[in-house]
Amino acid sequence: MPRILIIGLLSLFLYSCNNALVFSEFQANAGGSWSRQDVKDYSFTQNDTLTRYNLFINIRNDNTYPYSNLFLITDLSFPDGTVVRDTLEYEMALPDGQWLGKGYGSLKENKLLYKENIVFPNSGVYTFEVAHAMRQNGSVEGVNNLIGITDVGFQIESVE
């Protein structure tokens, strides 16, 4: 019985630490490699058209990731059919090679700001899609399998 009580209290504590969290989902990459054709998609229902939100892309990488930055292409699809496409670049490491993000050992998690202080204008189902757009320097062709990216996530938090 005490074990169940401890687990319940721990769950309550973790939930209360981030009451702004509205949506969070991670998708793992098989073998720690993100294929160029593997577009990650996240669907969520939004009925609140007044509250402001911050949107984040969460990336988990390990020490095998060979780059200091990350290029992404995103699509945010609205219930009315509108699609907002963005090409984004994020720093993943400092110039000295030290990884950015949080975590111990070889795995780091980066919470990358995607959109800040936005209001969802329509009620209904939204879809967020993200794909990597990495290329080798001097190459026109994209990297087919981006090693070292173990998980890709999407998160929505209400602005307090």
Over the chain (160 residues), the average pLDDT of each successive run of 10 is 52 58 97 96 96 98 96 98 97 93 92 97 97 85 92 96
Spell 66-103 as b/e; 16+ CB within 10 A means b: ebeebbbebebbbeeeeeeeeeeeeebbeeeeebebee
Identify the pLDDT of residue 12: 47
> Do the Cβ atoms of 107 and 100 come closer than 8 Å?
no
Go through the domains of the chain in sequence order and give each one's CATH number. Answer: 20-158 (2.60.120.380)
